[in-house]
A and B are shown apart, each in its own frame.
Chain A
Amino acid sequence: MIEQINKPNSDKEILNSLTPLVGKWFKEKFGGFTESQKYAILPIKGRKNILVSSPTGSGKTLCAFASILDYLISLEEKGELENKTYCIYVSPLKALSRDIEVNLNTPLKEMEKIRGKKLGIRVGLRTGDTTTTERSKMLKKVPHILITTPETLAIVLTTRKFVELLKGTEFVIVDEIHSLANKRGVYLSLSLERLEEISKITPVRIGLSATVAPLEEVANFLVGQKRDCLVADVQFIKKTDIKVITPVSDLIDVEGQFLHSSLYGLLDRLIQEHKTTVVFTNTRSATERVVHHLKERFPDKYLENIGAHHSSLSKEHRFNIEQRLREGKLKVVVTSTSLELGIDIGYIDLVILLGSPKSVARSLQRIGRAGHKLHDIAKGRFIAMDRDDLVECCVLAKEAMERKIDKIQIPQNCLDVLSQQIYGMAIYKIWEEDEMFSIIRKSYCYRNLSREDFLNVLSYLSGEYELEARNVYAKVWYDKETRQIGKKGKLARVIYMTNIGTIPEESFVSVQIAAGEGIGQKIGVIDEAFLERMKKGDVFVLGGQKYQYMYVKGMNIYVNSSVKRPPTIPSWFSEMLPLSFDSANEINRFRKLVEERLKQKNSPEEIKGFIEQHLYCEKEAGEAIYNYFYEQFRYAVIPHEKKIVIERYKGEKNYAIFHSLYGRRVNDALSRAMAFLVGRAGGRDIEVGIRDNGFYLAGEKLEIEKALKFLNSKNVEEILEEAINKTEVLNRRFRHCATRALMILRNYKGRRKTVGKQQMKSHFLLASVKRISHNFPILKEARREVMEDLMDINNTRVVLDRIKEGKVKIEQINVKLPSPFALSIVLEGYTDLLKMEDKIEFLKRMHKEHLKEIEERK
């Protein structure tokens, strides 16, 4: 049962339950308890599983530790403190672990000061960087509180000596659990079940989360199947001051150059008006660009006091920036997603969101970085750069103000992660099949795992599937008679320890302009694997611009920026964040409300008034949005929550633009399924462009009616399975899955493989796996990942059902030129081509064309 706590405890109640020392420390240091502490301290003392959801700076970390420290101190006072680990604290960030160690050690020191002697409570940090000596020290002087990462926890759980010390663990804290709605989280959920299995006492699980929804699902994710959990929802207490602004009043009749300089003018003004500002962009390259331009335009204002912080930068660089932020030495930091998590960054009085953050939860998370203490007001400013962005930002700001948070999705039944964990389990001991299966199914992420999938993973791991003849590389043995499972190979532990983890390894190559406009400029980074697939002359898109690949030198790729040809390589590696389905629906609803008013012939003033009131936006924004909608209404039709508009027009090819505002993940699925069906009905190669607010198909022959009728929520999965079968995206995801499932070992016999090498080899591996079985577990997982995690097939089904039930109507219109709403879909969508034509067919066609050309030359 998941149960919400409705009433906080009073200071008095809490103080009464704490040891005098801890109580005194709290009173002296803070005077009282924060809201989240009032909700959580006593339930934890009462050994209840609990999920605490509250904004950064609300004393969340301490609310978990308070009860535990109190308990340890009371044991110590009685002289009952044992040499064992009482509490495991798991954090998704290594840097964060360091942070917490400081935050935990300081209170301890201060309490020792009050007490006047050492308390003898040991805090130990164990991550991938922990040395062997430190590790063996830990075996003797066991840390009472062990701070670790999901990956290291898994390693610890296979180490017999260490497991002995963990058997008496009484508390597990999972911090930043909202950032674990991914394979890392899935992985951790299994580790927690493994910990539970070895424990003599069932550890209390404590989850700490920032803004997240639905809390019930996250709580289930924390505690696993059929276990109780309390939920303390204190996330709505921090006060916010949120506004959407634009650099210029008119976003359409504006020269790019002017918009650009106005933006930096605006940024500079905002930064100068505040003490410390954090600017969030959505991509790493944008982060670099903003820093570069601020420095260039205002050389006297920004030099030492500005910094960039994103995940492609070195660890040292990031630590340095964080440190200087805390010390108040920086005026402004520009970041992408890396500062979203709760690293302590000191006092920030303004957060700027450059471009839509694409989800309410992310918006609040970012804005929440301002005003670190709870009573401060978190001040956030969205800056919108175009009219679609403006509408999106306004709707997100509205939802953020109303605290309507979009739902996260936690991956289910990931077979690659499962492979890795089964391997780890087998290294620890010999298992009965049923025992192993039932432990796995206790994890929320595997509650629906089928016996068949489980057995298929075992078959893979034990080297069936013609994987080999000599059985050298099988990772486990599985005896079908006794139904027992165990590890295989002397190197098992080493292989496991050096290859586990769920984050796909990426490496980046920086892109520099060597010809054309902006020569010498560095424009960003691309994935090394992406580079590998390019050949000279290929055109690709980066940061919305087209570039032609010229040559590569070391870790730099040199490009030409003046390109006329269409992209020849789809940018799968686009870092673009997808708009959440919930927020997309909210925009659709807003569209409908405006359309109704336009249809009722309300006066412009009335409608503008409505927009301002509905979105809580400024007059200028209201005006811009009104004009945008009015143009669309006059020229074409406004698509909205009850209507998908399909625009047909003829350019070089036939275009069909689908105004399906459901976010990129749904559109990815919809567009591919449509393109596949249209292609199968005779269109040769169909070009596809995908955006959050719609997609387009283009081709010589484009008959969409039949495809529309045919596609439904029941057949979409099957269609997509075929449609993605030969794509790069499946290839790439397969590499990740194969690496996670340890089919490709990054580290083997002391050699480390580069990402490029892994990619090349995985290509071969995929070709070969496809010939074995369509349902080979790792191939199946790659398909699941593409369809459920990258795309959003579940919400795609929701949309298809709405269409079928008539809740959403489809209206086709013919236009001479794309409508205002359609422009961004056609212009900026990244394109990909669905390969319908068979390889041999293609060869024959090219051969004919070749012969024709030769004829003509004669």
Chain B
Amino acid sequence: MKDNFKFIGKTLYFPERKVLVLGDLHLGWEESLNEQGIFVPRRQFQEIVRDLNEVFEKIKKEKIEGEGRIKEELEEKIKEIVVLGDLKHEFGEISEQEWREVKGILDIFKAKAEKVVLVRGNHDTILGPIAERKELNVVDYYIKEEICFLHGDKIFPECLDKKIKMLVMAHRHPAVVLSDDYKKEKYKCFLVGKWKSKKIAILPSFFPFVEGMEVANLEDNGMFIPEEELKEFKAYVVGDEVYKFGKVGEIV
């Protein structure tokens, strides 16, 4: 099966295709808080880089354990990195520091993969110029054979084409709250399910610090898949590893 995928930290990895998917990095979030008068220290960039390196390490390990190949081959690049939008947080003007950070992240991607695909998110309105500088295109959606990658805030007719078997998206920042009467904790999670007879995978945000939004009775979840249907999706909870839970609507 070529659409086999693995959960690696907050990312999705297709081993056969060597495609790594992640979304919602929201670089510059701190800056936007500063704009609102909140004196937040700048930690986000470092944390994102650290988390990314962990992902790359794990992919290496997967190869060793999974395929038992020899060392040289491990250096073989990931073929593609697909960013599912909202690489950058703010809509407004872009600062020097943000330029540097966005460029820094793109450089890391380019060094690790043969191809980098940037899907446009609802926050990415001004990503264009930087991407251009790095000779990258920003697309509304990206179709690779029977898989379609998109941000998730809106749907495009091409994504609904019959030959598309699977949609991979982000945008929703899904999270679950686990509770045992006394204690409550929130975790980032993947949601996997079916919609319009296509397989759907929704990624958690890669953004550190904040877990995300619980699947609850939201009237408007900002997605084209109604919240009611999301409740039928299965949750894969991100901890030290990724744990499979049942239907997200049934987790208490």
Give chain A's interface residues, CB within 8 Å of chain B: 465-470, 472-473, 495, 535-536, 565-566, 568, 685, 687, 738, 742-749, 751, 753, 761-762, 764-765, 767-769, 771-772, 833, 835, 837, 839-840, 842-847, 849-850, 854
What residues of A have a CB within 8 angstroms of the CB of B185 in the complex?
839, 842-843
How far does the alpha carbon of A472 sit from the alpha carbon of B30 in the complex, in Å?
A: 13
Asked if B210 is at the interface (CB within 8 A of a chain A CB), the reply is yes
Kindly state the separation between the CA atoms of A850 and B15 in the bound complex, as whole angstroms. Answer: 29
Given A565-B181, A568-B184, A854-B246: A468 in contact with B42 (beta carbons within 8 A): yes
CB nearest neighbor in A for B30: A768
B33 to chain A, nearest CB (A): 6
Known: A767-B209, A843-B239, A850-B251. A744 touches B181 (CB 8 A): no
A177 to B46, CA, bound (A): 49
A568 lies within 8 A of B38 (CB): no
The stretch of B61-69, B157-165, B172-180, B225-233 that contacts the partner chain? B172-180
Q: Check if A748 sits within 8 Å of B36, measured CB to CB.
A: yes
A842: chain B residues at CB < 8 Å are 178, 183, 185
CA distance A846 to B189 in the complex (A): 14
Chain B's closest residue to A846 (CB) is: B178
Contact with B245, one of A467, A566, A768, A847 (Cβ below 8 angstroms): A847
Q: A843 and B96 in contact (CB under 8 A), knowing A466-B43, A743-B38, A768-B41?
A: no
Given contact pairs A566-B182, A764-B209, A850-B246, enumerate 17 new A-B contacts (beta carbons under 8 Å).
Answer: A468-B39, A469-B97, A473-B39, A495-B37, A535-B214, A536-B216, A744-B39, A745-B36, A745-B38, A751-B37, A753-B36, A753-B37, A761-B33, A761-B36, A839-B187, A843-B185, A847-B245
Nearest-CB residue, chain A, relative to B186: A839
Cα of A736 to Cα of B239 in the assembled complex, Å: 31
Q: Which residues of A contact B177 (CB under 8 A)?
A: 535
Contact of A467 among B36, B41, B209 (CB under 8 A): B41
Tell me the nearest residue of chain A to B47, going by C-beta: A771
The 15 sampled A-B contact pairs (Cβ below 8 Å) are A468-B42, A473-B39, A568-B181, A685-B183, A687-B182, A744-B38, A746-B37, A751-B36, A751-B37, A753-B37, A761-B33, A765-B40, A839-B187, A847-B245, A854-B246
Binary CB contact string for chain B from 200 to 238 against chain A (1 if under 8 A, 0 otherwise): 000000000110001010000000000000000000010
CA A546 – CA B55 in complex, angstroms? Answer: 46
From A468, A765, A771, A843, contact of B243 by CB (8 A)? A843
Q: Bound complex: CA of A837 vs CA of B179, how far in Å? A: 13
Find A466's partner among B38, B42, B245 (CB 8 Å cutoff): B42
- The chain A residue with its CB closest to the CB of B214 is A535
In the complex, B95 has a CB within 8 A of chain A: yes
Question: Please, how many angstroms separate the alpha-carbon atoms of A569 and B183 in the complex?
Answer: 9
Q: Which residues of A contact B214 (CB under 8 A)?
A: 535
Q: Which B residues, 33 to 78, have Cβ-Cβ distances below 8 Å to chain A?
A: 33-43
Cα(A323)–Cα(B2), bound, Å? 80
**Which chain A positions have C-beta within 8 A of B251?**
850
Cβ A465 vs Cβ B41 within 8 A: yes
Residues of B within 8 A of A844 (CB): 239, 243
- Is the CB–CB distance between B210 and A749 below 8 Å? no
Listed from nearest, the 7 A-B pairs whose CB atoms lie closest are: A748-B37, A745-B37, A743-B39, A843-B239, A846-B178, A847-B243, A833-B182
CB proximity of B208 to chain A, nearest CB, Å: 9
State whether B183 touches A768 (Cβ < 8 A).
no
How many angstroms from the CA of A425 to the CA of B97 in the assembled complex?
Answer: 31
Known: A842-B178, A843-B178, A843-B237. A833 touches B39 (CB 8 A): no
Min distance, Cβ A469 to any Cβ of chain B, angstroms: 5
B231 to A: closest C-beta gap in Å: 14
Q: Within 8 Å CB of B239, what residues of A?
A: 839-840, 843-844
A75 CB, min distance to chain B CBs, angstroms: 47
B16 at the binding interface (Cβ < 8 Å): no
Max count, chain B CB within 10 A of own CB: residue among A566, A738, A842, A849: A842
CA distance A687 to B40 in the complex (A): 34
A568: chain B residues at CB < 8 Å are 179, 181-182, 184
